[in-house]
Structure 1
Amino acid sequence: MKRVLPAPWLSLALWLFWLLLNHSLDLGQALFGGVLAVLAPLLLAPLRPRPVRLSSPGVALKLLLCVGVDVFVSNAQVAWRVLNARRRPPRSRFVQVPLDLRNANGLAALAAITTVIPGSVWSELALDHSVLLLHVFDLDDEGAFIAHFKARYEKPLMEIFR
């Protein structure tokens, strides 16, 4: 069964969305949607991430709380810098952060974290996953930023996704 339907819930959802998008319960639409619902997960199976195993749920909860605080604090800092840009313009820069994290799920989580925190944008990941290029809105000390980023986000993610 897993060979024909590797993701049965995804197939069901695709079939239902196909019918909803076409506003039709015709036999032809139902059959075509069913074929798409079966073929899409089969063809896209190599793109699906590996199963996630959290080895440290406590660290994951701590990281989640840390990110929540960082989102709040970064919003305030970015707003303050924007409001005071005439007195002191922000010093935006691209920063190359060397990475020790290689787990695909961990890298995806790091991308999500970087994206939700104002003031930083995930720009590029090296093909060998060894360096992350970030754009930082306002940066005083590149070395301190890299050390903070690695300790605050990468280290816990490496512990979570062993």
Structure 2
Amino acid sequence: MRRLFPAPWLSLALWGLWLLLNLSLSPGNLLLGAVLGVLAPVLMAPLRPLPVRLRHPGVIVRLVLRVGMDVLVSNLQVARAVWTARRRPPHSAFVKIPLDLRNANGLAALSMITTVIPGTVWSELALDRSILLMHVFDLVDEAQFIEHFKTTYERPLMEIFE
């Protein structure tokens, strides 16, 4: 049974999403959604990383709230930098951040966090996963940015995933 449904919740979610996107409960859509829900997880199982064991739910909640707050603050900072660009152009730069986080799931979460926060872009990860190259829209102090990034995002993810 596990072979046919390697991720039963994902299969169910894909089936439901298919029906929702098509806005139809016709027999053809029910069947096509079920086929998609069964085949997609089976075919993509080799691409999935190791199973996740989340630890420290309190850290997860704090991290989610912190990321939400940083998204709001960064939106305001980027908007201000764009509006005042004639007087003070933003100082964009690439920053090399040394990483201690090695867990694939943790790195995936870190990349999503980086992508969500305005003004930062995950550019490259070293092959040995030791250095992250990140583009920052308006960099004031590189050392302070690196310390903030490691303290705010990397360390909580290490607690959660490692």
TM-score past 0.5 threshold: yes
- Alignment match of 1:25 (pick from 14, 24, 27): 27
- What does residue 51 of structure 2 align with? 51
Can you give the 5+ residue segments of structure 1 that lack an aligned partner in the other structure? Answer: none
The root-mean-square deviation of aligned C-alpha atoms, in Å, is: 2.5
- Shift in alpha-carbon separation, 1:103–1:83, aligned structure 2, 3 A: same
**Count of matched residue positions in the alignment of Structure 1 and Structure 2:** 160
- What does residue 156 of structure 1 align with? 156
The percentage of counterpart residues that share the same residue type is 68
Which stretches of structure 1, 4 residues or more, deviate above 4 A after TM superposition? 12-16, 32-37
Q: What code does the residue aligned with 1:64 have?
A: V
How far 1:66 moved relative to its partner?
A: 1.4
Name which one, 1 or 2, has greater alpha-carbon Rg: 1
Can you give the 5+ residue segments of structure 2 that lack an aligned partner in the other structure? Answer: none
- What does residue 111 of structure 2 align with? 111
TM-score (normalised: structure 2)? 0.84
How far 1:39 moved relative to its partner?
A: 3.4
1:75-86 counterparts in 2 under 5 A?
Answer: 75-86=75-86
Q: What code does the residue aligned with 2:5 have?
A: L
- Shift in alpha-carbon separation, 1:76–1:14, aligned structure 2, 3 A: closer
Matches of 2:67 and 2:88, distance apart in 1: 27
3-state SS in 1 of match to 2:118: coil
1:1-162 counterparts in 2 under 5 A?
Answer: 1-14=1-14, 17=18, 25-26=27-28, 30=31, 36-162=36-162
- Shift in alpha-carbon separation, 1:73–1:33, aligned structure 2, 3 A: closer
Matches of 1:59 and 1:36, distance apart in 2: 35
TM-score (normalised: structure 1)? 0.84
3-state SS in 2 of match to 1:156: helix
Q: Deviations over 1:62-113 (max 9, x none)?
A: 1112112211111111111111100110010111111111111111111111
How far 1:37 moved relative to its partner?
A: 4.2
- Shift in alpha-carbon separation, 1:86–1:50, aligned structure 2, 3 A: same
3-state SS in 1 of match to 2:123: strand
3-state SS in 2 of match to 1:152: helix
- Shift in alpha-carbon separation, 1:93–1:13, aligned structure 2, 3 A: same
Matches of 1:33 and 1:63, distance apart in 2: 35
How far 1:8 moved relative to its partner?
A: 3.0
Q: What code does the residue aligned with 1:76 have?
A: L
